[in-house]
């Protein structure tokens, strides 16, 4: 999987974090069926490795299915064993190093210029600005791209449809979206409402 090419094409990463494993699985499948192919299942949800295993079995070997909130070396190994072919972290550390050694694409969490330099040196594929909403939102992305104009930034955290449009206009390669897209679907909520939100975000990110 060429993750950078996929990011540039889709411009949207869906983040699934649910309290109900069956509902989380249904959410992943609904997103894929709704034309949102870049999906991250957070390890901070309920039984996330099982969700990844089930989704991988249904989506096949080529689908981009990530594990998010990967914190440790063990997390990275377990996520890979479950079928994840993308590792997403909230920050830097052993999880990034382990995934890079495994040859997996890594969306590594960064916040400061120092983080950006360290993540790039560590071999991160793309840079997740997190939590983007806490540091000025789109204006912070604009400032960060001053010294790093060519790096692939993916703002995450509090990204609704309006913010997504702003980030993309200002040069983000893609956005990562959790609750504004997922809503309560991963907790057993309305999948039809999820489909409508997916269509809205796809329109914004197209």
pLDDT digits (tens, 9 = 90+) for 42-97: 999 999 999 999 999 999 999 999 999 999 999 999 999 999 999 999 999 999 99
pLDDT digits (tens, 9 = 90+) for 98-122: 999 999 999 999 999 999 999 999 9
Catalytic residues: 40, 128
- Checking 147-155 for CB contacts under 8 A at 24+ apart, the result is 147/113, 148/113, 148/116, 151/116, 151/120, 151/127, 152/4, 152/7, 152/125, 152/126, 152/127, 153/126, 153/127, 153/129, 154/7, 154/13, 154/107, 154/126, 154/127, 154/128, 154/129, 155/128, 155/129, 155/130
In this prediction, residues 32-42 reach a mean pLDDT of: 98
Could you tell me the residue ranges of all domains in the chain? 3-205
Contact (CB, 8 A) for 87 and 106: yes
Tell me the fold of 3-205: TIM Barrel (3.20.20)
Give the SS3 label for residue 38. Answer: coil
pTM of the entire predicted model: 0.97
Question: How many Å is the Cα radius of gyration of the chain?
Answer: 15
Contact (CB, 8 A) for 41 and 20: no
Which has the closest alpha carbon to 130: 180, 169, 168, 175? 175
For residue 180, pLDDT beyond 90? yes
- How high is the pLDDT of residue 10? 98
Give the angle subtended at the CA of 130 by the CAs of 6 and 1, to the nearest 5°. Answer: 20
């Amino acid at each position: 999987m060429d993750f950078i090419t996929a990011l540039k094409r889709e411009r949207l990463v869906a983040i699934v974090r649910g309290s109900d494993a069956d509902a989380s699985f249904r959410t992943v499948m609904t997103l894929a069926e709704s034309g949102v192919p870049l999906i991250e299942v957070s390890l901070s949800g309920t039984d996330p490795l099982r969700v990844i295993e089930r989704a991988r079995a249904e989506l096949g070997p080529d689908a981009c299915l990530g594990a998010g909130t990967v914190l440790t070396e063990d997390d990275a190994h377990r996520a890979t064993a479950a079928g994840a072919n993308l590792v997403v972290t909230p920050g830097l550390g052993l999880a990034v190093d382990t995934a890079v050694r495994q040859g997996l694409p890594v969306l590594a969490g960064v916040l400061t210029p120092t983080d950006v330099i360290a993540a790039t040196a560590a071999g991160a594929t793309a840079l997740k600005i997190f939590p983007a909403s806490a540091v000025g939102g789109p204006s912070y992305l604009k400032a960060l791209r001053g010294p790093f104009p060519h790096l692939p930034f993916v703002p995450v955290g509090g990204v609704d449809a309006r913010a997504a449009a702003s980030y993309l206009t200002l040069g983000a390669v893609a956005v990562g979206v959790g609750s504004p897209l997922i809503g309560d679907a991963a907790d057993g909520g309305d999948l039809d409402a999820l489909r409508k939100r997916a269509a809205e975000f796809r329109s914004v990110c197209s």
